[in-house]
Amino acid sequence: MQETPKGSRLHIAIFGRRNAGKSSLINALTNQDIALVSNVPGTTTDPVYKAMEILPIGPVMVIDTAGIDDVGDLGALRVERTMQVLNKTDLAVIVIDPEEGITSFEEELVKEIRKRNLPIAGVVNKSDTKTVSPAELATWRQMLALPLLLISAKTGQGIEELKRQMIKLAPDDWEGPQLIGDLVSPGDTVVLVVPIDLAAPKGRLILPQVQTIRDLLDNDACAVVVKERELKEALDSLKNPPRLVVTDSQEFMKVGADTPSEVMLTSFSILMARHKGDLETLVAGAKAIDALQPGDKVLIAEGCTHHRQADDIGKVKIPRWLRQSVGGELDFAWVSGGTFPPDLTKYKLIVHCGACMLNRREMLYRLAIAREAGVPIVNYGLLIAQIHGILYRALAPFPLAQMILEE
Amino acid sequence: MQETPKGSRLHIAIFGRRNAGKSSLINALTNQDIALVSNVPGTTTDPVYKAMEILPIGPVMVIDTAGIDDVGDLGALRVERTMQVLNKTDLAVIVIDPEEGITSFEEELVKEIRKRNLPIAGVVNKSDTKTVSPAELATWRQMLALPLLLISAKTGQGIEELKRQMIKLAPDDWEGPQLIGDLVSPGDTVVLVVPIDLAAPKGRLILPQVQTIRDLLDNDACAVVVKERELKEALDSLKNPPRLVVTDSQEFMKVGADTPSEVMLTSFSILMARHKGDLETLVAGAKAIDALQPGDKVLIAEGCTHHRQADDIGKVKIPRWLRQSVGGELDFAWVSGGTFPPDLTKYKLIVHCGACMLNRREMLYRLAIAREAGVPIVNYGLLIAQIHGILYRALAPFPLAQMILEE
């Protein structure tokens, strides 16, 4: 598994008093899916940094502030420790214990966080065992001047809504995983297969291709750019096999045949799916295609309202492939631009476009809404790869995603 | 010498009666500079196709219509031959003999050419031996409804003006030489050295780099894209040396040192200079830097009016380099956007920007105006290469340009 560099992980600090349920919340945020947790060693009273995968947010660094959760006021030492944590924080989560309510700890903490202009998500935990009256909740909200979400780390209630809020609160410049740079080491060679069809504008390459070349250069790697027809020749011209071959999805079959099986192979749309959204959630969505039944409702969502062509992928091709895969008729609905329809729960699958007109935050937000509604979501590129039986090989650089597909 | 593919050469048909001076005109269009002429075999009465270099127009195909220049009306056979030639013509030049004036030959010819909507340049030759009165010239112009230029193929009078007119008349879709595709064979590998400086926009490559990659793919070649720091490693990773290394001008010294001397090396700006304008004329301009004297007037011309930075290349860097090269002060003038000042003859050198905002036709037109005024013209990229002593090596793929620099 390639480690996502620390710099591109969203740093989430979890604050709360000793019995508020910080650890349970961290488990709840990750446990429902496969979580890769690697603790950074520290003393028992120092904050612990945990590199994790929170779906659909992606790779994050959770800062468990066990050392500064003592009862009572923030003493000088704990203020200092809090400030050290906040220096590295992109987003703060405050966990409130409904048995205790708001104390000076939470009030001073919010003050400290606000001084640094950091976003805060506030949750009242233990909704499964302690009922909070609307009046009480309103008082607490007013005391902190903060919306508070009722959750249960134990039952999972409100967790997906919290994730959605976290995505909304994440800073604008938070980028998430790199396109390809984290998959290579300096000096590596990566072969990019770029088919030139008649529709490709003269003298240009499409943006994901340019972004991939640039990301390789930024990471001291070398990009070998070639058409599918010359791939074999290009591979033969190298003294050593490349680190990775990346192809346009439409040439996956030919490129797969020409690439030695020991060389990792993926596609530009998989790289973009990870960069723009959350690969694992989309892979789980691709897997859900197998469970579709004739008559199921499928929502096809596009991020923009482009001019549709006769063989439009969203209107024509994807419905055809899905019908063939299911072996019967499906009940399709379409949305484009704007947002999702209010009730998603009636759909068995959401198929989203590549989101070239959406930024990462907006795409993650949509993934979060789908997860909250419990509806699997996949994008065009992954759906195509899955239906053509090539998704597993194309996920070679992403073992976590491969595990989700295999499960 | 790489042959420019026939398709990207402007096809110029030269028509005229037997004694009008077609051959002299063809010589005059090419002889003043080095001309590469290769006759395509044909019978004596068939038109002869001559692949030539006419500066500053670039590689052209001149169609010498010796077989259809007989005296008198266009007979059926000659109409057929004319039509065959016109099928391949981008631009027609009619040479008029002032001893004969306008005959039915010229009138019918113009009619045939106009039927096909082809541009026509009309010249009255032999201005050195035969004086044509303004009244006579006006009558001829009226008869053909065509502007007529007085020239002498023998003395060269009016030839540069004719070239300028030819550029103006050339069809819009005439593209000239390829960026790089004509320098490679299918299966060739070309290494592109792309430095990433802090100013480079994130996630992007600049257009000449993208265009070069695309042109290589369009021509079944493979592009190895690498930063200057990883070039040595990239060259070592290849079983065979690449066909060519192309570098950003600013890294020429380092890339030159890391590229084996038997591998051809050039720069993106030289490729663009050839693609957008006329490499040989600009090389002659680069050579003229050596002849500059302190006090000489130098015109610095930019194609657009961009926002100038503190160390602007046109305002600051190029004047400094030229002063250092000359060893004294120079008298600089600047123009931007629009056109050249009316009197260019007072300048000893014109330094033009890379013309990223101008199309090929406009750049060629400016080169033609400079040539007409007898003023050498160079562009930024070639000036920098020449002043840093690397132009000769960077012209390795272009023997004609190398010859001009060496002369």
| B234 falls within a domain | yes
DSSP structure string for B236-261:
HHBSS--SEEEE-GGGHHHHHHHS-T
Please give the helix or strand (H or E) that residue B85 lies within, else none: helix B76-86
The answer to whether the CB atoms of B214 and A205 lie below 8 A apart is yes
Lowest mean pLDDT among A226-230, A347-351, B269-273: B269-273
**Would you say residue B401 lies in a domain?**
yes
Supply the pLDDT for residue B290: 94
**Is B213's CB within 8 Å of A225's CB?**
yes
Query: What integer pLDDT is reported at residue B32 of this predicted model?
Result: 46
Instruction: Give buried/exposed letters for A355-369 (b at 16+ CB in 10 A, else e).
Output: beebebbbbbbbbbb
**What residues contact A130, with CB distance under 8 A and at least 6 apart?**
A98, A99
The lowest-confidence range among A11-25, B31-45, B63-77 is B31-45
Cα distance from A320 to chain B (closest Cα, Å)?
32
In terms of domains, do A209 and A313 share one?
no
Q: Does residue A144 belong to the interface with chain B, where contact is any CB pair within 8 Å?
A: no
Q: What is the pLDDT of residue A246?
A: 97
Q: How many domains does chain B have?
A: 3
Q: Using DSSP, how many helices (H) and how many strands (E) does chain B show?
A: 15, 15
A229–chain B Cβ distance below 8 A for any pair: yes
Mean of pLDDT over chain B: 85
Q: How confident is the model at residue A39 (pLDDT cuts 50, 70, 90)?
A: very low
- Compute CA B122 distance to the chain's CA centroid, rounded to the nearest angstrom: 22
Which pLDDT score, from 0 to 100, does residue B263 have?
96
Return d(Cα A213, Cα B1) in angstroms, integer. Answer: 32
Three-state SS for B57? coil
CA A118 to chain B, closest CA, distance in angstroms equals 26
CB pairs under 8 A between A and B: 97
Q: Are residues A297 and A262 in the same domain?
A: no
Say what the pLDDT of residue A200 is: 66
- From chain A, the residues in CB contact with B227 under 8 A are 217, 220
How high is the pLDDT of residue B278?
86
Residues B295 and B267 in one domain: no
> In chain A, whose CA is at the least distance from the CA of B207?
A204
| Pair B398, B288 in one domain | yes
Q: What is the DSSP letter of B63?
A: E
Question: Which of A228, A244, A271 is the endpoint of a domain?
Answer: A271
Confirm or reject contact between A356 and chain B (CB < 8 A).
no
Tell me: do A286 and A230 sit in the same domain.
no
pLDDT at A361: 76
Q: Is the pLDDT of residue A81 over 70?
A: yes
pLDDT in tens, B181-190: 999 999 999 9
Please check the confidence at residue A72 and state whether its pLDDT lies above 60.
no
- Is the per-residue pLDDT at B62 higher than 80? yes
Task: For chain B, say whether A271 makes contact (Cβ under 8 Å).
Answer: no
CB atoms within 10 A of CB A60: 24
For residue A237, the chain B residues in CB contact (below 8 A) are: 189, 222, 238-240
Residues in chain B within 8 Å Cβ distance of A215: 203
Whether residues B203 and A214 touch (CB distance < 8 A) is answered with: yes
The answer to whether B126 touches B155, Cβ cutoff 8 Å, is no
**Choosing among A217, A235, A271, which should be mutated to test the B contact, i.e. which has the most B CBs within 10 A?**
A217
Q: Are residues B142 and B43 in the same domain?
A: yes
Q: Report pLDDT digits (tens) over B320-372.
A: 999 999 999 999 999 987 678 888 999 999 999 887 667 777 788 889 889 88
More confident residue, A309 or A290: A290
Strands B148-150 and A148-150: unpaired
> What's the CATH code of the domain at A192?
3.40.50.11420
DSSP string, B329-358: --EEEEEESS---S--TT-SEEEE---TTS
A201 touching chain B per CB within 8 A: no
CB within 8 Å: A225 and B237: no
pLDDT at A174 over 90: no
Report how far residue B224's alpha carbon sits from residue A125's, in angstroms, rounded to the nearest whole number. Answer: 55
Residue in A205, A218, A237 closest to B239 by CB: A237
Say yes or no: A194 contacts chain B, CB-CB below 8 A: yes
Q: Is residue B165 part of a domain?
A: yes
For the cut 90, the answer to whether the pLDDT of residue A354 exceeds it is no
Residue A299 near residue A335 (C-beta atoms within 8 A): yes
Kindly report which listed range (A72-81, B128-137, B152-161, B358-367) carries the lowest average pLDDT score.
A72-81
Hey, how many other C-beta atoms are within 10 angstroms of the C-beta on B353? 21
Report the mean per-residue pLDDT for chain A.
Answer: 85
Q: Which amino acid is at A381?
A: G
Specify the CATH number for the domain of residue B390.
Answer: 3.40.50.11410
Position A70 pLDDT exceeds 60: no
Q: What is the mean pLDDT of residues B173-185?
A: 83
Q: Which of B214, B219, B271 to mutate to test the interface with A (most CBs of A within 10 A)?
A: B214
ipTM for the assembly:
0.70
DSSP conformation class of B132: P
Residue-wise pLDDT tens digits, A231-256: 999 999 999 999 999 999 888 889 99
Which amino acid does the sequence have at A149?
L
Say if B61 falls within a structural domain: yes
Do A150 and A187 lie in one domain? The reply is no
Measured from the Cβ of residue A257, the count of other Cβ atoms closer than 10 Å reads 9
Does A1 touch chain B if contact means CB atoms closer than 8 Å?
Answer: no
User: Mean pLDDT highest for which of A46-55, B8-17, B155-164, B282-291?
Assistant: B282-291
Are B392 and B348 contained in the same domain?
A: yes
Order across the sheet with A244-247: list the strands: A264-267, A244-247, A189-193, A222-226, B222-226, B189-193, B244-247, B264-267
Final residue in a domain of this structure, among A271, A291, A324: A271
pLDDT at position A3: 44
Residue in the structure block whose two tokens are 């935050």:
A361
Does B217 sit within 8 Å of A196, measured CB to CB? yes
Residues B80-92, mean pLDDT to the nearest whole number? 82
Q: In the numeric block, which tokens belong to residue B251?
A: 């890294």
* Rounded distance between C-alpha atoms, residue B231 and residue B252, angstroms: 12
List pLDDT tens digits, range B268-278. 989 998 888 88
C-beta atoms surrounding A137 within 10 Å: 16
Q: Residue A104: its pLDDT value, please?
A: 86
Kindly report, residue by residue over B196-245, the tens digit of the pLDDT. 875 567 788 888 899 999 999 999 999 999 999 999 999 999 999 999 99
Of the residues A142, A169, A196, the one at which a domain ends: A169
Output b/e per residue, B41-64; b: 16+ Cβ within 10 A: eeeeebbbbbbbbbbbbbbbbbbb
Residue A83 sits in the same domain as residue A33? yes
Residue B34 is predicted with a pLDDT of 39
Question: Cβ contact (<8 Å) for B237 and A240?
Answer: yes
Do A202 and A351 fall within a single domain?
no
For residues B54 and B192, state if they share a domain.
no
Q: Which domain holds residue A54?
A: 6-169
Instruction: Pick B40 or B366 by higher pLDDT.
Output: B366
Q: What is the mean pLDDT of residues A142-160?
A: 93
* CATH classification at residue A16: 3.40.50.300
Contacts of A224 in chain B (CB under 8 A): 222-225
Q: Is pLDDT of B70 > 90?
A: no
- A176 in any annotated domain: no
Residue A35: which pLDDT band, with cuts at 50, 70 and 90? very low
B193 close to B234: Cβ distance less than 8 angstroms: no
Q: How confident is the model at residue A382 (pLDDT cuts 50, 70, 90)?
A: very high
CA distances from B335 to A188, A224, B98, B326, B351 (A): 47, 41, 41, 22, 10
Angle of helix A76-86 relative to helix A104-115, nearest 10 degrees, comes to 40
| CA distance to partner chain B, nearest, from residue A73 (Å) | 45
| Angle made by CA atoms B386, B390, B396, in degrees to the nearest 5 | 110
Q: How far apart are CA B305 and CA B361, in angstroms?
A: 19
Residue-wise pLDDT for B105-118, tens only, equals 899 889 989 988 88
B93-139, pLDDT tens digit by residue? 999 999 989 988 899 889 989 988 889 999 999 999 999 999 999 99
Chain A residues within an 8 Å CB radius of B218: 196
Look at residue B388 and tell me if it is in a domain.
yes
Residue A174 lies inside a defined structural domain of this protein: no
Looking at the structure, tell me whether residues A14 and A161 fall in a common domain.
yes
d(Cα A359, Cα A276) in Å, to the nearest integer? 7
Residue B259 in contact with residue B231, Cβ under 8 Å?
Answer: yes
| Residue A214 in domain | yes
- Indicate the pairing of strand A148-150 with strand B297-302: unpaired
Cα–chain-centroid distance for residue B282? 9
